[in-house]
């Protein structure tokens, strides 16, 4: 059986499972559509939360980023993990106690202001739309490789599948679909990792294999990797980070950004009790850890396997001939994610760091520039092929990559749909809308959001390369501080909350756009990615943390200069933090 047929079976079977679950769990009420009826078991919710959390960025991109940057890019791992811990400990139980459907609804009620609710809706939609572009793009990458279709065609297929189970099932369908998607993606991620760890170190547990000896050389695996990358002009894989301030700020921005992204927060509204929200948070951390503890090993082993493929006799020996390149390179070349240019006309593939510091060594070896461009996002997807694993493993990882992209895309699209139908239409435009009308509006909003997300995936804006950073920065600077102050401060009022969110949002967006050269203003492009011009040396990708500080400062200052919140609001805040009675959330 061909590899294409095997991929088609795995992907087709997973899609049939998702759609079947959506039909079984079809939403019949707005409560089903928004919070799955509020009756999801904590273990199931923990698994669904893990799938929602581990997007295409976690499954596909994170290991690729670590593989390319080594220790320096471990900030993604630390930031995303730390963000979940913040969310689980500081936000989830209290928001569940409040008993609302959406994050903007909490902000609107807590700050007794429709204006605050609308600002929150705006921040939520901007953050979620920018983030969902990455998920749809990830689905397109996976489709283009494994089902041998154009990327745009893959996006269309992904959109149809999400439409079928998300529009039909709402949160109820998405929840149980995400449980299935978690099972698919974690199996798809760990099985290849186990095989590769056994090949390289003899240890079946990848996280332990990372710190074991490399079987062929007898050296510690990381030491061997350091040696190989160093001989090719790259900095040591385990090298420390020079700019500690940026590392701290970037990690913090990812932490509070992930804690503020609404598509995961709303998962904690689906359980029956506050105690269940705590338990589901704990279970989710367990399920997330299974992948996150494996990712650094996958990254390191993928990088070593890639370089060993190009230089089978070592980095100082001849590279492989282009005509003798392995099948997996030929396959990925067809997607455009691997590109080769024979710059010295020797017919061999030179892969190295063609920086000025390595130029003399490269010249002595007869090299005339790096000749192989490899997109970081393919390393996890190509890992089984690089390691010559069985064809069924390749099919499994195809299904896993798509499951990761679709699970998070569905959660983001639901957050967008809920914000439009529940917070915008019912909350502001037509408060008297019937439940049936609201459910119809929710489904229409979901459908429109899917169409927009698909179009943006096919025609990504100029800032698509940094789109995830923009999403995290917006969430960090606007939504997270508002939630924290709403839960833990009785003094912050509506004026302070609105001013803080706007200040955090605008400062972050302006900083990112200017210093990444995204605004078509004469001269701004000269500032793009030039650390010398950054304010106090702060990277645009790290500014979300600064925006959050600005949000807090403005909110507290404005609140201190204006009246205190009404007494009933202060009592509400106290009751959320210090529950009375059985602790079962009331509300809808």
Question: pLDDT at residue 202 above 90?
Answer: yes
Question: pLDDT at residue 88 above 60?
Answer: yes
Higher pLDDT, 27 or 291: 291
Q: For residue 575, what pLDDT is reported? A: 85
Percentage of the chain modeled with pLDDT above 70: 94
Identify the band that residue 583 occupies on the pLDDT scale cut at 50, 70 and 90: very low
CB-based contact 242:72 (threshold 8 Å): no
Q: Is the dihedral of CA 164, 165, 166, 168 positive or negative?
A: positive
Question: pLDDT at residue 527 above 80?
Answer: no
- How confident is the model over 253-264, as pLDDT tens digits? 989 988 888 887
Question: pLDDT at residue 485 above 90?
Answer: yes
Question: pLDDT at residue 569 above 50?
Answer: yes
- How confident is the model over 309-327, as pLDDT tens digits? 999 999 888 999 999 999 8
What are the φ and ψ backbone dihedral angles of 304, each rounded to 5 degrees?
-65, -45
Q: For residue 469, what pLDDT is reported? A: 63
One DSSP character per residue, 65-91 reads: HHHHHGGGGHHHHHHHHHHHHHIIIII
Identify the band that residue 30 occupies on the pLDDT scale cut at 50, 70 and 90: confident
Q: For residue 551, what pLDDT is reported? A: 97
- How confident is the model over 355-385, as pLDDT tens digits? 888 989 998 888 999 999 988 878 888 888 8
Task: Count other C-beta atoms under 10 Å from residue 264's C-beta.
Answer: 26
Q: What is the mean pLDDT of the chain?
A: 85
Question: pLDDT at residue 504 above 50?
Answer: yes
Rounded-to-integer distance, Cα 576 and Cα 429, Å: 29
Question: pLDDT at residue 400 above 70?
Answer: yes
Question: pLDDT at residue 93 above 90?
Answer: no
Domains observed in the chain: 3-301+389-577 (1.20.1730.10)
Q: Across residues 53-73, what is the average pLDDT?
A: 82
Question: pLDDT at residue 581 above 80?
Answer: no
Among 103-117, 126-140, 272-286, 457-471, where is mean pLDDT lowest? 457-471
Q: For residue 462, what pLDDT is reported? A: 46
Query: What separation in angstroms does the CA of 257 have from each of 79, 263, 398, 415, 468?
Result: 9, 12, 29, 16, 10
Question: pLDDT at residue 495 above 80?
Answer: yes
Identify the band that residue 164 occupies on the pLDDT scale cut at 50, 70 and 90: confident
Rounded-to-integer distance, Cα 228 and Cα 234, Å: 9
- For the entire predicted model, the pTM comes to 0.82
């Amino acid at each position: 059986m061909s590899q294409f047929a095997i991929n088609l079976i795995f992907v087709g079977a997973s899609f049939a499972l998702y759609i079947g679950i959506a039909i079984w769990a079809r939403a019949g009420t707005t409560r089903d559509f928004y919070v799955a009826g509020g009756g999801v078991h904590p273990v199931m919710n923990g698994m669904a939360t893990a799938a929602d959390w581990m997007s295409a960025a976690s499954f596909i991109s994170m290991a690729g980023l670590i593989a390319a940057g080594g220790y320096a890019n471990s900030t993604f791992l630390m930031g995303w993990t730390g963000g979940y811990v913040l969310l689980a400990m500081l936000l989830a139980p209290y928001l569940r106690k409040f008993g609302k459907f959406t994050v903007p609804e909490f902000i609107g009620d807590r700050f007794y202001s429709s204006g605050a609710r609308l600002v929150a809706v705006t921040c939520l939609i901007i953050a979620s739309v920018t983030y969902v572009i990455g998920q749809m793009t990830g689905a397109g990458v996976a489709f283009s490789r494994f089902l041998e279709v154009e990327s745009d065609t893959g996006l269309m297929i992904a959109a149809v599948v999400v439409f079928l189970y998300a529009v039909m099932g709402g949160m109820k369908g998405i929840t149980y679909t995400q449980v299935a998607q978690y099972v698919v993606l974690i199996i798809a991620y760990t099985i290849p990792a186990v095989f590769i760890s056994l090949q390289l170190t003899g240890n079946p547990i990848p996280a332990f294999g990372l710190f074991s000896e490399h079987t062929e050389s007898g050296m510690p695996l990381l030491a061997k990797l350091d040696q190989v990358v160093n001989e090719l002009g790259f900095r040591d894989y385990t090298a420390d980070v020079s700019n500690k301030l940026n590392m701290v700020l970037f990690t913090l921005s990812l932490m509070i950004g992930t804690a503020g992204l609404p598509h995961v927060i709303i998962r904690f509204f689906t359980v029956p009790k506050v105690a269940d929200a705590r338990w589901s948070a704990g279970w989710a951390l367990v399920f997330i850890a299974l992948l996150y503890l494996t990712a650094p090993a996958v990254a390191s082993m993928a990088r070593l396997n890639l370089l060993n493929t190009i230089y089978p006799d070592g980095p100082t020996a001849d590279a492989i001939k282009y005509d003798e390149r392995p099948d997996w390179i030929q396959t990925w070349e067809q997607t455009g994610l691997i590109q080769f240019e024979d710059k010295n006309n020797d017919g061999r593939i030179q892969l190295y760091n063609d920086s000025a510091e390595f130029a003399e060594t490269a010249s002595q070896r007869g090299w005339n520039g790096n000749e192989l461009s490899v997109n970081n996002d393919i390393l996890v997807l190509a890992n089984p092929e690089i390691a010559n694993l069985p064809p069924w493993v390749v099919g499994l990882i195809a299904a896993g990559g798509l499951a990761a992209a679709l699970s998070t895309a569905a959660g983001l699209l639901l957050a967008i749909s809920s914000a439009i139908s529940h917070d915008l239409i019912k909350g502001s435009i037509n408060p008297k809308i019937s439940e049936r009308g609201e459910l119809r509006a929710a489904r229409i909003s979901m459908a429109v959001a899917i169409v927009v997300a698909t179009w943006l995936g096919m025609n990504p804006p100029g800032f698509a390369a940094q789109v995830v950073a923009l999403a995290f920065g917006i969430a960090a600077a606007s939504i997270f501080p508002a939630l924290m102050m709403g839960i833990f401060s009785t003094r912050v009022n509506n004026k302070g909350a609105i001013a803080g969110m706007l200040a955090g949002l605008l400062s972050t967006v302006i900083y990112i756009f200017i210093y990444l050269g995204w605004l078509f203003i004469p001269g701004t492009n000269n500032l793009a990615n030039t650390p010398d011009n950054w304010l106090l040396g702060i990277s645009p990708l790290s500014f979300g943390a600064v925006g959050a500080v600005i949000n807090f400062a403005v909110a507290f200052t404005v609140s201190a200069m204006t009246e205190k919140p009404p007494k009933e609001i202060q009592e509400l805040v106290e009751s959320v933090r210090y529950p009375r009675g059985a602790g079962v959330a009331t509300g809808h």
